[in-house]
Structure 1
Amino acid sequence: MESFFGLALNIIITIYLVIDSKKHGKSPILWGILGFVFGAISLGIYFIKTGRKVAGWIITILSILGYILLILLFGLAILFAVVGFS
Structure 2
Amino acid sequence: MEFASSLVINILVVVFLVIDAPKHGKRAWLWGVLGFFLGTIALGIYLIQTDRKVLGWVILIVSVIGYILLIIFILIAIAFIFSL
Partner residue in 2 for 1:18: 18
Partner residue in 1 for 2:38: 38
Partner residue in 2 for 1:83: 83
> What runs of 5+ residues in structure 2 fail to find an aligned partner?
none
Secondary structure of the corresponding residue to residue 26 of structure 2: coil
In the alignment, the residues of structure 2 paired with residue 38 and residue 6 of structure 1 have an alpha-carbon distance, to the nearest angstrom, of: 11
Moved over 2 A (4+): none
TM-score using structure 2 length = 0.98
TM-score using structure 1 length = 0.96
> What runs of 5+ residues in structure 1 fail to find an aligned partner?
none
- For the pair shown, the structure with the greater C-alpha radius of gyration is 1
In the alignment, the residues of structure 2 paired with residue 5 and residue 75 of structure 1 have an alpha-carbon distance, to the nearest angstrom, of: 23
RMSD, aligned CA: 0.4
In the alignment, the residues of structure 2 paired with residue 82 and residue 53 of structure 1 have an alpha-carbon distance, to the nearest angstrom, of: 43
* Percent identity between the two aligned chains: 52
How many residue pairs end up in the alignment? 84
| Residue 2 (structure 1) shift | 1.1
Secondary structure of the corresponding residue to residue 26 of structure 1: coil
In the alignment, the residues of structure 2 paired with residue 4 and residue 68 of structure 1 have an alpha-carbon distance, to the nearest angstrom, of: 21
